[in-house]
Amino acid sequence: MKGSYADRDLAAALADVLGQLSPKKAFFVNLSASGGRSELFVGWFFHEGNSGDVLDHKLLGRLAELCMDLSLDVYA
Confidence band of 71 (pLDDT split at 50, 70, 90): very high
Whether the CB-CB separation of 66 and 18 falls below 8 Å is answered with yes
Q: What integer pLDDT is reported at residue 36 of this predicted model? A: 98
Number of domains in the chain: 1
Has residue 1 been placed in a domain?
no
> 70 or 4: which carries more pLDDT confidence?
70
Which amino acid does the sequence have at 12? A
Whether the CB-CB separation of 37 and 31 falls below 8 Å is answered with yes
Neighbours of 21 (CB within 10 A): 18
- Kindly report the pTM of this predicted structure: 0.81
Has residue 21 been placed in a domain?
yes
Whether the CB-CB separation of 53 and 11 falls below 8 Å is answered with yes
Has residue 47 been placed in a domain?
yes
Mean pLDDT on 69-75: 92
What does the pLDDT look like over 7-63, one tens digit per residue?
778 899 999 999 999 999 999 999 999 999 999 999 888 777 777 889 999 999 999
Has residue 59 been placed in a domain?
yes
Has residue 57 been placed in a domain?
yes
Range of the domain at 52: 10-75
∠ CA(37), CA(40), CA(43), 5° rounding? 140
Has residue 26 been placed in a domain?
yes
Has residue 34 been placed in a domain?
yes
Q: What integer pLDDT is reported at residue 51 of this predicted model? A: 77
